[in-house]
A and B are shown apart, each in its own frame.
Chain A
Amino acid sequence: MSPKIVPWAVVAATLAGAAWFAAAMTVGGDRSALLIGETTDAHHQIELACETCHAAPAFASAAKAEKALNRACRKCHDKELKAADDSHPRRKFRNPRMAVYWEKLDARLCTTCHVEHRPEIVRASAVTVAMDFCVACHSEGDQDVRAERPSHAGLAFDTCASAGCHNYHDNRALYEEFLVRHAGEPWLADAPAHELSARQRVRKRPARAALARGDAVAPRAALADPAWLDRWADSGHAAAGVNCGACHAPKAGKNATRETVEASWIEAPGTAVCEDCHRPQARTFVLGRHGMRRHPRVAKPRDPLRQLRKIGLSEFVPETVALWLADPAPPTTMTVAEARIPMRSDAAHGTLDCGTCHTPHAVDVRHAAAEACASCHDDPHTRAYFASPHHALWRAELAGEAPPGTGVSCATCHMPKTERRGRIATDHNQNDNLRPNEKMIRPVCLDCHGLGFSLNALADGALVERNFTGTPAVRVESIGWATRRAQATKREAGG
């Protein structure tokens, strides 16, 4: 190469690079190279849907960008924080009387403690500040918790939220009066059972609705495979009167005939047909990591023509070039291979939608509740489940040797039942009560176990890994401290 060309080549390469950068930032196209750092486990699935979080217009000031970023956090997480009876809600810290704390730990902003794209500082629960963050507000003057609580005098601040005693947001199972109320409970209840599971499993179905093998209405070719037909006839769908057309030909309507079903037959229906009937499940599925790519607040791929119009360049860029700049359409479902936790290699290509756990024709929630999980997950906790006391209880319930609701499957703990207006549904956000794990206590553990045992068990990481095979080797002191304080107060009052 002639030496004279080198400067021009550098200029051309710089201009080309700048053009690509500007196009990727503002118009469209693959921008994975622009990621400034790995995102947390909480958001890695949607990290290329940048506008989901970075909602401010291009070239907005840093202050506006930060505001928009935090507004985006709240849009997705406000409901769960409200449900958690958030102990540190943002509105509490917006009052100017809290200004003294803004410089120490600005609790008005989610991003004070949860920064993305900084993998080197990420701690448990996606916290990105030092774990002694409580020290900022609870260590001085009247707010010094060590002065107020003699039991806390020698405790280090990095243990507040890591020893099973407190959480920053969700303390529903940890507040003092709750501890006192549940003090002294036995490790196991007299008749341990999950009430909502028990009620759901014995619920009566209308006998008239149940369909048998001969009631199937479908094109002849579809009925040719007797195995599929048998699976459907044994399924919950047949028991609930859901005929083939309900999923394969929803347009045919309720009074479908073989002809109308055949006319609108869909060989492989999408998840939309599931969502039509199973709305609470669909609504919660997109809140967890299995389904969050389908969350309605996750930004859709950019339309380059629209983006060009916004910046006034649509007339100058040929449409073919603009279309070349289209965002690569991200799959709406996760693949198992994309997970960051240990997974089975033979499941790597599997995707996550309703049919992944609920085999479409053999709609068997018992399979979905445990075996389906282990068909992908391959971590120590999952592997240990099949030799655990919980699994033995599950087997006994399935075999009819134990009452309904006494078995403990993966779903019992990770997808607990909820009741709303008399209807029981399974929470399909399997991350809802996962971290911090004390969130699991009220909706799950306390159905069968005492609070003290539950706190100890969940604080024992090795026991969690063994899927609760054994007894807790950790003792959380909070119940003892709370009861002793309550007794002392009672004595002082002469009670």
Chain B
Amino acid sequence: MKRTLLTIAVLAFGIGSAVAAEGIPFRKVADMLYQVMSADREVYTRMVVQRLTVDKKVITASEHFEDDSALPLPAQMFRFGAERVMDQTEDFSYALLSLNPINKKNGPGTDLERKGLRYVLENEGENFYGEEELGGERYFAAVYPDYAVVEACINCHNGHKDSPRRDLKVGDVMGGVVIRIPME
């Protein structure tokens, strides 16, 4: 138990592949990374954005949060974390993507992403795992469903001028989290 906790603590600090190198399967490492990301994402969405923007209405959340003195959107918080990781390591990477993205750059960019996003949308509660080669390097890739957990998610997605889908309900799969770990 102690070892498991230590492993998760280490993962939380972003040293994923080191653990993988010690023998934990890539799939397990990706699952654990996802648990941390997913928990942080849901906590921010529920306890900060939903509570302050929808329930208490004391502040807004905005894509242009600097100019609007507002909260960053949950998807932006997730992206900032992913980019911060890219500043520090190449041991793993992740992104929040969708088949119906508000920002086109968050649409699927590889065959695996397209397949994985389709899979998690059509197979409730299941994840997608695979391998792909990018930039001459082989990656283990996992795609996890990303749900609209609260009203704030669907308010924004259904109302945004660039949103290709405006019929989302709480509990729907909006997209997926894609995690990659280099295999060599």
Residues of A within 8 A of B (CB): 85, 89, 91-92, 94-100, 102, 142-143, 148, 175, 177-178, 485-486, 489-490, 493
Contacts and interface: CB of A to CB of B under 8 A. Distances in A.
B110 interface: yes
Nearest to A144: B104
Given A91-B87, A142-B107, A96 B161 contact: no
Interface string B40-78: 000000000000000000000001101100000000000
A97 B137 contact: no
Contacts of B83: 89, 91-92
A96 B137 contact: yes
A102 B109 CA distance: 13
Given A85-B66, A142-B104, A178-B67, A97 B84 contact: no
Give the top 6 A-B pairs by smallest Cβ distance, nearest first: A99-B135, A489-B161, A99-B134, A91-B83, A94-B86, A91-B86
A184 B98 CA distance: 35
A9 B110 CA distance: 64
9 contacts: A92-B83, A92-B86, A95-B93, A95-B95, A96-B137, A143-B105, A177-B63, A178-B67, A493-B161
Given A91-B84, A143-B104, A485-B161, A97 B90 contact: no
Given A94-B93, A177-B64, A489-B161, 10 more contacts: A89-B83, A91-B84, A94-B86, A96-B134, A97-B178, A99-B135, A100-B109, A100-B134, A142-B107, A175-B64
B19 interface: no
A175 B64 CA distance: 10
Interface of B: 63-64, 66-67, 82-84, 86-87, 90, 93, 95, 104-105, 107, 109-110, 113, 134-135, 137, 139, 159, 161, 178, 180, 182
Contacts of B134: 96-97, 99-100
Nearest to B82: A95
B123 to A, nearest CB: 22
Nearest to A101: B109
Nearest to B64: A177
A73 to B, nearest CB: 15
Given A92-B83, A143-B105, A97 B66 contact: no
A7 B135 CA distance: 52
B117 to A, nearest CB: 12
Contacts of B66: 85
Given A97-B113, A99-B135, A493 B159 contact: yes
Contacts of B161: 485-486, 489-490, 493
A89 B79 CA distance: 12
A485 B107 CA distance: 21
A102 B135 contact: yes
A452 to B, nearest CB: 18
Nearest to A94: B86
A142 B180 CA distance: 22
A96 B180 contact: yes
Contacts of A96: 93, 134-135, 137, 139, 180, 182
A171 to B, nearest CB: 11
Nearest to B132: A96
A98 B90 CA distance: 13
A100 B107 contact: no
A438 to B, nearest CB: 16
Contact of B104 (A94, A99, A148, A493): A148
Contacts of B82: 95
A152 to B, nearest CB: 13
A97 B107 contact: no
Contacts of A97: 93, 95, 109-110, 113, 134, 178, 180
A125 to B, nearest CB: 24
Nearest to A177: B64
Contacts of B63: 177
B102 to A, nearest CB: 12
Name which of B64, B95, B137 has the most chain A CB atoms within 10 A of its CB. Answer: B64
Contacts of B110: 97, 100
Nearest to A148: B104
Name which of B93, B104, B159, B180 has the most chain A CB atoms within 10 A of its CB. Answer: B104
